[in-house]
Amino acid sequence: MDGPHVDRSHLDVAGVMRSPVARVWVLTAAAGAVALALTLRFITGLTGASAFELSPWLLLVAFAMAEAYPIHVEHRREAISFSLSAIPLAIGLFTVDPMPLLAAAVLGSTIALAVTRHQAPFKIFLNTSQLWLSTVVALVVFHVLGGASEPGLATWPAAFAATVVADAVQAAVVTTAISLYQGRWEVESWQAAAFVATAVNTAVGVAAVVLLGVEPFGVVLLGVVVVVLLFSYRALNALRDRHGDLERLFDFTGAMGVAGLGDRVVATVLEKVGELMHSERAWLYLGDADGDVRRVELVDGELRTTDVERVGADARLHAVALRAGEAVLLPGADVAAGVDTLDRLGVSEAMATPLLGSSSVVGVLVVAERSGEVRPFAAHDLRLFGTVANHAGVSLENHRLFDGLRDQAALNAHQALHDALTGLPNRAMFTERLAETLDRDIPVAVLLLDLDRFKEVNDALGHHHGDELLQDVAGRLGSALRGGDLVARLGGDEFAVLLPGVAAVDAAVDRARALVAVLERPFAVADVSVSVEASVGVVVAPRHGTDASTLMQRADVALYDAKAYQSGVESYDASRDSHTAGRLALVAELQAAIAAGDLDVHFQPQLRLATGAVEGVEALVRWTHPVRGPIPPDEFVPVAEQTGLIRPLTLHVLERALSHVANWRTEGHALRVSVNLSARSLLQETLADDVAELLARTGVPADALCLEITETSLMAHPGRTLATLERLRAVGVSLAIDDFGTGYSSLAHLKRLPVQEIKVDKSFVCSMLDDASDEAIVRSVIELARNLGIRVVAEGVEDQTVAAALARAGCHLGQGYLFSKPVPAVRFGGWLRSRSRGETDAKVVSLRPSIAG
Ligand code: C2E
Ligand code: CA
Ligand code: CA
């Protein structure tokens, strides 16, 4: 440090006054001295209180309680606390002798501050002298104004004057202390509110005194009223907080839209995110093409960019967020490492999140130090932060951050596909390469390799050396490969090797044994020599499977066998795989059911929330297995997807749905029908033609069909999927994004997709009334969709209050058990007819805005 040098041989007054804490100590001493002088001069000579005597001990407890349970208000980045101590002070002025009252106030408050609020010593001393001074002043004012002379109405003003003046003294001392601490004068705007609070508290205290004189038990009633008021105040405050967050979320989205270009966007993101998350600091990490990371922070309104060391705490935080792939709270599960990282960054808590653009990672956003002492970052802050980051990521990307953005995208693509510790490809890249190889009909072997007893090494030598060992293992595996092979780290101590061109099980097993042998030579870690054993599961394509997920799952089964038999290497053996037999039977039965038309389709209505009119219906497939009974679609639809049965399944559901809707439409119900598409269907070239053909056959107009695609399947193969969506749009059907909110896509991304509807996922809708961040998500989805001219459907509407809240938020349509469960076509038809005869049930009618209020 090259700051000013303090010569320790003599007292350097100017030097001491440069330290903020020292300046506060001086103020403390001054206030204490004045308080002492006033006490000796006035208080010792004062005569007793005018009303009846109350025990000073009782008051001591009351002061301690008032100080221990202050009322918190958060305003922007400030946390303000009020205490209720004016209540015992007002009571004490009338009922306790001056000296005991002074002692009770100072002692009670100090004990509370020291014990329950864990304040630093210099703060406790400051507060003690400040309390002493203000209480003395209150006593003097009270007695000078004749408060102690005669009981009754005439003395009340003296009590109010005393508490308010005491408050002013307190405010003056605290403001001076804060200004001295910060080195600049700062007048707080909230002090007017504190005076109002004090006046109210005094009124409560005076009322208590009056009651004590008339009917002491009346104080209990007063207590009840105060407690109820406090609770409603708290509830109100929580509500205000929530509204504040939402307001700022909209404000944020709006600000992003008009932020202009380049640095302005970054500055706006940092400023608004800091405000929204109540955090004192916010910064951004941006990587460049050389793998260097820069840190961008807003300092006094200016952006400041610093280069980040490759191995420092910044680099670690950056890596943690990228690895998590979502917003994380620090210190996280690994507390020691988290605390160490934060310490080095000079903060005590932080949230970090990767900023995902529509196609790449833009950077990492960090907020740190929640303002005020009221509470640390909590789970719902983390979710809000994640949502905000979604907006920010896309805005930053859209605004073409820096010139080198494209280089950076390349780097980030690298980071997204590689493991940070070893630099090897990660699981995502491995499965992608495997799928590519399979697509090109090249035979391929997959080896799944897991180190034996790695955990013991890790525990014995420490995480740091465990990491080193993994890096060395990665190096050796890499050196044992041939051109075209690929080794990846899947996570922990699990690696995978891709061997294109290897079709024979024996050849693959030989290669696996060679890899195990390569690892047998001891590793030098932490000056000890460690030998590593590994187990390997082997599969080859096409023999053991023709798609990536089947192969990976079977390699896992083989690896499990290798571990169980301690045999080192095992290839996949179907007879040992318990999943397979049952699953194969299921596939055959499903195929037969589809062919025989045994799959049923149920229908669930979608209602316009503002009017209760039925506008649409979702078709949901149902299968009742002859032996196992009803099987949920979540179970058999994936099976169909993996086995090529999805096309006949989808066509069957489409055909049923369209022909029923055609009937209902001829009966005069102008319904739209929604049918679910799976990710796999979107890769089929023939889909658009199939749909067009079915529409023509059933006579349903194209715009009365809506196809639902889940958010995650849109992200899986963006290129090919988009081509199919364009073709479907050309046919004239509308498209919906299903389960919106569960994937990583951002709202702004929507603009680029040809969709006309989004369905907010039921997990958010169900809990929107209990969970502020779910509510924030639902509301911002609705708001943004409306701005983009997209229809919003809330699914999972189970009760009336949720429906009313959604209607108020502007959500167009609702679907859920509240209105109807999915029912067979016959029952749905009956339901429609009875409604149009006016047998509308009450819950739907009450949705009309006039009644919902
Ligand atoms: P999804 O498309 O999100 O369908 C909505 C699911 O929510 C349905 O489950 C429905 O019964 C359920 N649901 C409706 N209202 C409520 C409610 O108020 N509360 C709750 N908790 N749930 C409600 P289901 O029928 O079990 O379908 C599950 C999933 O299976 C569907 O989710 C969809 O992804 C898939 N699926 C269903 N039919 C088909 C189909 O024909 N083709 C394809 N590819 N997938 C289908
Ligand atoms: Ca759906
Ligand atoms: Ca859904």
Tens of pLDDT, residue by residue over 675-686, are 999 888 888 889
Q: What is the DSSP secondary structure assignment for residue 43, as one 8-state letter?
A: G
CA distance 479 to 518: 9
Predicted pLDDT of residue 398: 63
The residue whose C-alpha atom lies closest to atom 4 belonging to ligand 1 is 620
Question: What are the helix and strand counts (H, E) for the chain?
Answer: 31, 25
Predicted confidence band at 249 (pLDDT cuts at 50, 70, 90)?
low
Is the pLDDT at 747 greater than 60? The verdict is no
Is the pLDDT at 593 greater than 90? The verdict is yes
Structure pTM? 0.44
Predicted pLDDT of residue 751: 67
Burial 563-574 (b: 16+ CB within 10 A, else e): beeeebbbbbee
Atom of ligand 1 nearest to the CA of 620: 38
CA distance 584 to 40: 95
CA of 54 to the centre of ligand 3 (A): 66
Q: Are 603 and 656 in contact (CB under 8 A)?
A: no
Of 110-119, 459-468, 816-825, give the range with the top mean pLDDT: 816-825
The residue whose C-alpha atom lies closest to atom 21 belonging to ligand 1 is 796
Q: What is the DSSP secondary structure assignment for residue 819, as one 8-state letter?
A: T
Q: Which residues contact 654 (CB under 8 A, 6 or more apart)?
A: 675, 690, 691, 694
CA-nearest of 343, 53, 361 to 212 is 53
Q: Which residues line ligand 1 (CB under 6 A)?
A: 604, 620-621, 632-634, 637, 650, 653, 676-678, 708, 738-739, 762, 795-798, 816-817, 822
Query: What sign does the CA torsion over 201, 167, 123, 381 have?
Result: positive
CA distance 202 to 197: 9
CA of 620 to the centre of ligand 2 (A): 8
CA distance 364 to 350: 12
CA of 618 to the centre of ligand 1 (A): 9
Query: Among 590, 647, 676, which is best to mutate for testing ligand 1, by the most ligand atoms less than 8 A from CB?
Result: 676
Pairing mode of beta strands 444-451, 494-500: antiparallel
Task: Name the strand (E) or helix (H) holding 38.
Answer: helix 20-41
C-alpha 60 chain-centroid distance: 43
CA-nearest of 413, 471, 132, 412 to 293 is 412
Span 74-78, mean pLDDT? 53
Is the pLDDT at 9 greater than 50? The verdict is no
Q: Are 483 and 542 in contact (CB under 8 A)?
A: no
Is the pLDDT at 407 greater than 70? The verdict is no
Inter-residue long-range contacts of 487-493, CB under 8 Å, 24+ positions, other chains counted: 487/424, 487/425, 488/419, 488/424, 488/425, 488/426, 488/427, 488/429, 488/430, 489/419, 489/421, 489/422, 489/424, 489/425, 489/426, 490/426, 490/427, 490/430, 490/448, 491/427, 492/454, 493/450, 493/451, 493/454
Q: What's the maximum distance between 2 C-alpha atoms anywhere in the chain?
A: 107
What is the residue-wise DSSP string for 502-556?
A: ---HHHHHHHHHHHHHHHHSPEEETTEEE---EEEEEEEETTT-SSHHHHHHHHH
CA distance 167 to 130: 10
**Coil/strand/helix, residue 315:** helix
**For 428, how many CA atoms within 13 A lie in the half-sphere containing its CB?**
11
CA distance 741 to 611: 26
The residue whose C-alpha atom lies closest to atom 45 belonging to ligand 1 is 676
CA of 93 to the centre of ligand 1 (A): 68
> Using alpha carbons only, what angle is made at residue 593 by residues 590 and 594, rounded to the nearest 5 degrees?
90
Is 141 or 82 the better-scoring residue by pLDDT?
141
CA-nearest of 768, 844, 849 to 808 is 849
Is the pLDDT at 843 greater than 60? The verdict is no
CA of 354 to the centre of ligand 1 (A): 31
The residue whose C-alpha atom lies closest to atom 5 belonging to ligand 1 is 795
Query: What sign does the CA torsion over 744, 750, 753, 759 have?
Result: positive
Q: Are 513 and 568 in contact (CB under 8 A)?
A: yes
Pairing mode of beta strands 534-541, 569-571: parallel
Beta strands in 275-389 (DSSP E): 279-287, 293-299, 302-308, 328-330, 350-356, 361-370
CA of 743 to the centre of ligand 3 (A): 12
Q: What percentage of the chain's residues is helix, strand, coil (to nearest 5)? A: 55, 20, 25
Tens of pLDDT, residue by residue over 130-152, are 899 999 999 999 988 887 776 67
Predicted pLDDT of residue 139: 92
Predicted confidence band at 852 (pLDDT cuts at 50, 70, 90)?
very low
Q: Cis before residue 542, ω within 30 degrees of 0? A: yes
Span 469-498, mean pLDDT? 91
Q: Which structure tokens are listed for 655?
A: 């055909």
Give the number of whichever ligand sits closest to the CA of residue 620.
1
Beta bridge partners of 605: 617
Predicted pLDDT of residue 238: 67
Q: Are 446 and 543 in contact (CB under 8 A)?
A: no
CA of 737 to the centre of ligand 3 (A): 9
Burial 831-853 (b: 16+ CB within 10 A, else e): bbeebeeeeeeeebeebeeeebe
Of 102-116, 262-276, 386-400, 588-602, give the range with the top mean pLDDT: 588-602
CA of 602 to the centre of ligand 1 (A): 10
Give the number of whichever ligand sits closest to the CA of residue 803.
1
CA of 751 to the centre of ligand 1 (A): 26
Q: Which structure tokens are listed for 98?
A: 């001056």
Atom of ligand 1 nearest to the CA of 739: 3
CA distance 450 to 561: 12
Predicted confidence band at 485 (pLDDT cuts at 50, 70, 90)?
very high
The residue whose C-alpha atom lies closest to atom 33 belonging to ligand 1 is 676
Query: Among 602, 604, 620, which is best to mutate for testing ligand 1, by the most ligand atoms less than 8 A from CB?
Result: 620
Q: How far is CA 571 from CA 554, 576, 841, in A?
A: 9, 11, 62
Tens of pLDDT, residue by residue over 635-652, are 898 788 877 789 999 999
Mean pLDDT across the chain: 82
> 254-263, 283-292, 496-505, 526-535: which has the minimum mean pLDDT?
254-263
CA of 794 to the centre of ligand 3 (A): 9
CA of 151 to the centre of ligand 1 (A): 74
Give the number of whichever ligand sits closest to the CA of residue 677.
1
Predicted pLDDT of residue 452: 84
CA of 840 to the centre of ligand 3 (A): 26
Helix spans in 346-399 (H): 379-398
**For 436, how many CA atoms within 13 A lie in the half-sphere containing its CB?**
10
Is the pLDDT at 456 greater than 60? The verdict is yes
Beta bridge partners of 621: 601
CA distance 548 to 542: 11
Query: What sign does the CA torsion over 336, 340, 343, 347 have?
Result: negative
CA of 620 to the centre of ligand 1 (A): 6
Reading phi first (left if > 0) and then psi (alpha if -120 to 50, else beta), residue 732 is in left
Predicted pLDDT of residue 590: 92
The values of phi and psi at residue 457, to 5°, are: -60, -45
CA of 582 to the centre of ligand 2 (A): 28
State the helix-helix crossing angle for 646-666 and 633-642, rounded to 10 degrees.
Answer: 130
Predicted pLDDT of residue 186: 62
CA distance 267 to 393: 13
CA distance 727 to 740: 22
